[in-house]
């Protein structure tokens, strides 16, 4: 999948070092729904991506900046259920590439993949109550605010106790 600026592809083993740097970056980590310290090292992160891909529970894509070929993030459909036609959208972009519209661009591609290839009929996404940048991404993609959810996953120590829930019927 690609746009003029981005290429999205399956995550490869060589991506694990850089992706591990991103998920352990405090500027990103504070917004994540899993604790990166449970991953311990880059190859374990890659194994996680592979295991969830093989089970078709989560589909994670590396986000590549076409100009340089650099992996700049991840975009995914998580908790995919073929029976219900639902999944949860997730994404992260390197802080070096924030405020360029790239999260919206990557997530838009993944939404198209979800509808065109997987036959999704509903996508949900969540963001922390004090993460307006992520909330803007969801709004630009056409997701509607549904309400609040308690954080059952356990963001980091400084993390959210409440999440904003957005969804889109496709």
Per-residue pLDDT tens for 49-80?
777 777 677 899 999 999 999 999 999 999 99
What is the C-alpha separation between 109 and 80, in angstroms, rounded? 16
The number of folded domains in the chain is 1
Mean pLDDT of 136-143: 98
- Give the pLDDT band (50/70/90) at residue 17: confident
Tokens 């352990």, residue? 24
H helix and E strand count, the chain: 5, 7
Mean pLDDT of 17-40: 71
Vertex 26, ends 99 and 52: CA angle to 5°? 85
Per-residue pLDDT tens for 123-138?
999 998 889 999 999 9
Per-residue pLDDT tens for 84-125?
999 999 999 999 999 999 999 999 999 999 999 999 999 999
pLDDT for position 153: 54
pLDDT for position 52: 72
pLDDT for position 155: 46
**Structural domain for 61, as ranges:** 6-169
Q: Examine the pLDDT at 26 and tell me if it is beyond 60.
A: yes
**142 lies in a domain?**
yes
pTM value is 0.85
More confident residue, 25 or 153: 25
Q: Domain of 31: which CATH number?
A: 3.40.630.30
**1 lies in a domain?**
no
**64 lies in a domain?**
yes
């Amino acid at each position: 999948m690609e746009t003029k600026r981005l290429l999205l592809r399956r995550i490869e083993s060589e991506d694990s070092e850089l992706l591990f740097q991103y998920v352990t970056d405090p500027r990103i980590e504070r917004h994540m729904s899993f604790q990166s310290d449970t991953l311990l090292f880059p190859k374990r992160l890659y194994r996680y991506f592979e295991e969830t891909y093989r089970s078709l529970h989560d589909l994670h894509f590396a986000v590549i900046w076409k100009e340089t070929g650099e992996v700049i993030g991840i975009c995914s459909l998580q908790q995919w259920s073929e029976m219900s036609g639902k999944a949860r959208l997730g994404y992260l972009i390197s802080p070096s590439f924030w405020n360029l519209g790239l999260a919206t661009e990557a997530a838009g591609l993944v939404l198209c993949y979800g509808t065109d290839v997987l036959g999704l009929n509903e996508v949900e996404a969540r963001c922390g109550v004090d993460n307006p940048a992520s909330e803007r991404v969801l709004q630009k993609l056409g997701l509607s605010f549904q309400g609040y959810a308690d954080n059952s996953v356990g963001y980091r120590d400084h993390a959210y106790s409440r999440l904003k829930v957005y969804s889109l019927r496709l």
